Amino acid sequence: MKSSKQKKDLLLDIQNISIEGFSDEIWHPIIKGVNLQLYRGEVLGLIGESGAGKSTLGLAAMGFVRTGCRFTSGSINFNGKDLTKLSDKKKQQLWGTKLSYVAQSAAAAFNPAHRLINQTIESSLSHKLNIKETLQKEAVQLYKEMQLPNPDEIGERYPHQVSGGQLQRTMTAMAMSSKPDLIIFDEPTTALDVTTQVNVLATIRSIVKEHQTAAIYITHDLAVVAQMADRIQVLRYGNTVEVAKTSQMLKSPKEEYTKSLWAVRSIKKKEQKSKEIILSIENVSASYGSGPKVLQDININVPTGRTVAIVGESGSGKSTTARSITGLLPPTQGKIIFQNRILPMKLSDRTKEDLRKIQMIYQSPDTSMNPRHTVREIIGRPLSFYHGINKEKNTDKVLELLNMIELDDSFVDRLPEELSGGQKQRICIARALAAEPELIICDEVTSALDQIVQEGILKLLLKLQHELKISYIFITHDIATVKAIADEVVVMHQGLVVEQGSKKEIFSPPHPEYTKLLLSSVPEMDPNWLNKVLEN
Amino acid sequence: MSKLHPIVSTLLKRIGLGIISLFFVTLIIFSSVNLLPGDFVESVLGQTRTEESVKIFRKELGLDKPYHVRYVNWLTSAIQGDLGSTFSGRNATYANQPQQSTARSVSSLLKPRLFNTFFLAAMTAIIAIPLSLLLGITAALYRNSIYDRTVNASALTTISMPEFFVAYILIIYLASINQFFPSLSNVTSSTPFFERIYLSVLPALTLTLVTVAHMMRMTRASIINLLSSPYIEMARLKGISKTQVIIKHALPNAWAPIANIIAFNLAYLIVGVVVVEVVFVYPGVGQLMVDSVIKRDIPVVQGCALVFAVTYILLNLIADVISIITNPRLLYPK
C-alpha cells in the first residue's frame, strides 16, 4: 500500500541520465548516469563543487540542456512524461507553468529593459493562464509574501533600481507566479551578502512550504542546504557521491568526499600577538572622484609578521582600503605609516622600494594574469623589475619560487589556461613573493575557489608566513576563512571600521550591533540554525 | 539648485561637444579648401588675363585679404546663415565692372541640391532600414541555417562590389533589357512627386543594396551577442518562444549599436553618394561639390563641406539620444 502511495507522489524521476558537452572538437561527458527522485512538496538539496555538474543536472530536470550540450541516455520523467523525448514546443508549454527556474545571479537573469512586474507575470501571461490584471494582483500578493518593501509599487521598477537581495526575492516570486509543481533554485543566494542571504533563505523556505511546491535547491554551501532541504544529494565529477536525509547526512556523512566539503572549517590558526606594527592607517578617508566618501576616517594597525583579516560585506570599503594602502586610490585625508615612515599617498610619488615591499594578490587569478605570458614570464617580471635579474639568469629563482608554492619545475613554461584555478592562484602568490615583500594584501583570494582548493591555498599562505615572516592583510567576506587564517580581525561596514581586535576578542561577546548581525548571519551546519536566527 | 534629468544634461553635453567639433571642422574645411592647388581667378581669366584684371577680380572676390581675415568673415556670416556668394556664378566678362556683377548666393545653389539629396536618402532609408532590421532579426533567429548563410553571403556580395558597378548592373537589367525604370534620374525642382519617386528608383535601389549589408550584419551580431546572456536563458526557461525571446528580450537591449550603425549609414547616404549621383545624373549635393572643386569655387565647396559636417554631427547626436532612451538604466537612474 505504501509503495503505491509513494509512486503516486513521485513528481520527478530521473533515471540513469547522461549529458555531454561539446568543446575542443570532442564531446565530453558532464553527467554520467545519475538517478534522482523527487516527491511532491519535497525539497532536494543538490550539492557539489564547481564542475560537479549540479547546474547541468538542475536544468536537465526541466528537460533543458544549454547550447553545446546534449542528452545521451536515460530518461527524465516529470508527471509521467519523459522530458528527453518531448518536442521543444511541448517543453515550452511546461516551462514557466509547471516547471520554474530561479537563477544564480538575479542581476543578470532579469532583462534590464523591462519592468519587474512585466517580467514577473510574463510566463503566465504568454501561456494564457489568466488575464493581465488578475496576474498583476497575484504578483503583488507574492511580493508581499516575499516581504519585499512597497509590494504595490516595486513591480514598476526596473531591475537596476532594486537591490540584489530584493531582485532575488522578486525572481522567486516570478517563479511562483504560475503556481508550478517544481522550482529549480540554482545557487539563489551565492551572490548575496550573508546578512541579506538570511532573509532570502527564510522567505524562499516559507513560500515553498506554504504552496507545497517541490524544489531542487542547488548550492555549494552545505550549511545553506542544511536549512533548506529535506534530502541532500552530493555530486562530484558528474556522479552521485551519496544521497541521504539532511539530518543523517550532517550527522554521519558516509563518504570521505562529503566530509571534505567543509574542509576550510577545520583549519584553526592559533592566534599570535606581535608588539611591532608594520603598517598603520590613521584617520584615512577616501572617495572615488567627487563622489561620496567610501572610507570614513578609518584606523587600522597591522602587526609585523601577523595576519589582519578585514571582514565585511560588499560595499563596506574593504577593497577600497586595499587600494588606498597601495596608492591606487590616494586617500583624501589621513596618513599611511609603513615601517615608521609616512608613505606618499600617490602611487607615482612612491619609490620602487615602497612599491616592492607591499604586494597584492587578487580575487580572480583568471583576470589578474596576462593569458599570453608563460609562468616564467609572469614570475620573472617582478624579478627583473625590482631586483634587476634579467631573463637569462632568472630560471633558478623562478624554480625556487615554484618550489615554495609547492609546484614542480614542469610548470615553468605553461600558460595560465593550462593551469587549474588553485594552481593559478599559487602562481599569483609566487609573483607577489618574487618581489620579496614585507606585506601582502590578499583581496578575497580564496573566494572564487572550491573548498578543498581553498584549504590548500590557506595552508600555503600560513606556511609562507611562518617561513618568511611576511605580514598579511587578508580581505574576505567569509567568516570561516577569517577563523582559519587571522590573528587580528577588522570588521568594516559602510566605509567605517566597526571594530578591530584579536580574533578571540572579536568572536566572543559582547559584540557591537553590526558584528552581532554579521556573525549570526553566517549559516551553520545545524539544520535548526535558520529557525533559531529567525526567532531572535 | 534643481538637478537636471540625466537625459537633458547628457544632451546638453553632446550638443556642446557637437558645436565645438563643428568649430574645428570649419577650421579644417577652410584650411584644406585653401590648400587646393590652382587659383580660381587665374583659371577663369585664362590666357588673356592682365595683372591689372587679376588684381581687380581678386579684390572683388575678397581674395586679396589675408587668410585669417577671410576665415573670420566666412565664419561670422556662416553663423548668421549666409554662406556667401559663388565665384563662378558671375560672368568673367564683368570682372572689370564690379558694380554690375550678378553673383548667386551659395545657399540658393545649395538648397535645391540639398533637397534632392535628402529626398534620395529618405527614399533609400525607408526601404533599407526596415529591410535590414528584418533580415538581421530573422538571420539571428535562424542563425547558421541555410537562410542565414544565404542572407549573409548576398549581403557581403553587394557590399564587396563597387557601387557604380551595382548601379550599372541594375541599369542593364531594370532599364535596358527590361525597361522598367529610367536609367537617368535628372529630376528638377518642378518634377511632380510621384514622377520624382519613379525617376529615383534605380539610384535608391543601388544605395539600398550597398547599405543593407552593414546594418543587417550589425543587427544580427548585436542580437547574437546578447543571446548568451543569462536573462535570455531565463526567458527561454519561462517558456517564451524563440521568436518572442529575440523580439522582446534581445532586441530592446540591442538598439544602441543598431542605432549607431544606422546613423552612420544615413550620414553616408547624404555625404558619400557622389559616384551613384554621377552614374544616374542625379542632381545632388555630391555632384555640386565635385563640380565646384573642379572649378575652384571655394565658397560652394566650403558650404557643402559645412552641410556635410552638420549632418554627421546631428545624426550621431540622434543615435546617442536613441541609445539613452532605449536604456532604462540611463533613463531612470536609481
Is residue A280 classed exposed, middle or buried when 0-12, 13-18 and 19+ CB atoms within 10 A define those classes?
middle
Q: Among A286-300, A422-436, B228-242, which stretch is predicted with the lowest mean pLDDT?
A: A286-300
Q: Of all residues in chain B, what percent carry a pLDDT higher than 70? A: 94
Reply yes or no on whether the pLDDT at B92 is more than 50: no
pLDDT of residue B90: 59
Mean pLDDT of A61-78: 91
| ipTM of predicted assembly, 2 dp | 0.79
Residue A493, pLDDT > 70, answer yes
pLDDT at B98 over 70: no
Q: Which residues of A touch B253 (CB under 8 A)?
A: 111-113
Contact list, A179 vs chain B (CB under 8 Å): none
Query: For residue A262, what pLDDT is reported?
Result: 67
Q: Which of B228, B241, B329 sits opposite A160 (nearest CB)?
A: B329
Contact at CB, B240 and A112, closer than 8 angstroms? no
pLDDT attached to residue A8: 56
pLDDT of residue A336 exceeding 60, the answer is yes
**What integer is the mean pLDDT of A157-183?**
90
Min Cα–Cα distance to chain B from A167, Å? 13
Q: Which residue has the higher pLDDT, A437 or A48?
A: A437
Element (H or E) spanning B131, and its range? helix B106-141
CA distance linking residue B27 with residue A116, whole number of Å: 50
Longest C-alpha distance within chain B, in Å?
Answer: 86
- Among chain A residues, the shortest Cα distance to B334 is held by A161
Would you place residue B89 in the very low, low, confident or very high pLDDT band (cuts 50, 70, 90)? low
Higher-confidence position of A315 and A469: A469
Neighbours of A249 (CB within 10 A): 24
On the question of pLDDT at A5 being above 70, the answer is no
DSSP state of A401: H
> How large is the average pLDDT for residues A348-355?
90
Nearest to B26 by CA among B313, B315, B317, B306: B306
The pLDDT of residue A449: 81
SS3 category, A146 = coil
The predicted structure's pLDDT at residue A125: 92
Confidence class of residue B70 from pLDDT cuts 50, 70 and 90? Answer: confident
CA-only gyration radius of chain B, Å = 25
Residues in a beta bridge with A471: A439
Give the CA distances from residue B94 to residues B44, B54, B102, B109, in Å, rounded to whole numbers and listed in that order: 12, 12, 9, 20
Query: With contact defined as beta carbons under 8 Å apart, do A384 and A390 qualify?
Result: yes
d(CA B234, CA A112): 13
Name every residue whose Cβ is closer than 8 Å to that of residue B30 and which is 6 or more positions away in sequence: B67, B70, B71, B74, B75, B302
Average pLDDT for A61-82: 91
pLDDT of A139 reads 93
Judged against a pLDDT cut of 80, whether residue A531 lies above it is answered with yes
Q: Is the pLDDT of residue B59 over 50?
A: yes
The C-alpha atoms of residue A20 and residue B296 are separated, in whole angstroms, by 71
Amino acid at A522: V
**Torsion sign, CA atoms A122, A126, A129, A134:** positive
Q: Which residue has the cell 557637437?
A: B18
CA gap A432, A474 in Å, rounded: 14
- State mean pLDDT over B123-146: 93
Q: How far apart are CA A447 and CA A473, in angstroms?
A: 15
Tell whether A110 lies on the interface with B, counting CB pairs under 8 A.
yes
CB atoms within 10 A of CB A424: 22
Mean pLDDT of chain B: 86
Amino acid sitting at position A441: I
Work out the average pLDDT over B142-155: 92
In this prediction, residues A382-394 reach a mean pLDDT of 85
* Residue type for position B256: A
Q: Is the pLDDT of residue B94 over 70?
A: no
User: Looking at this protein, which amino acid is placed at residue A73?
Assistant: S
Q: How many CB atoms lie within 10 A of CB A291?
A: 7
Nearest to A97 among B231, B234, B239 (CB): B239
No. of helices (H) and no. of strands (E), chain A:
21, 20
What is the pLDDT, as a whole number, of residue B35? 80
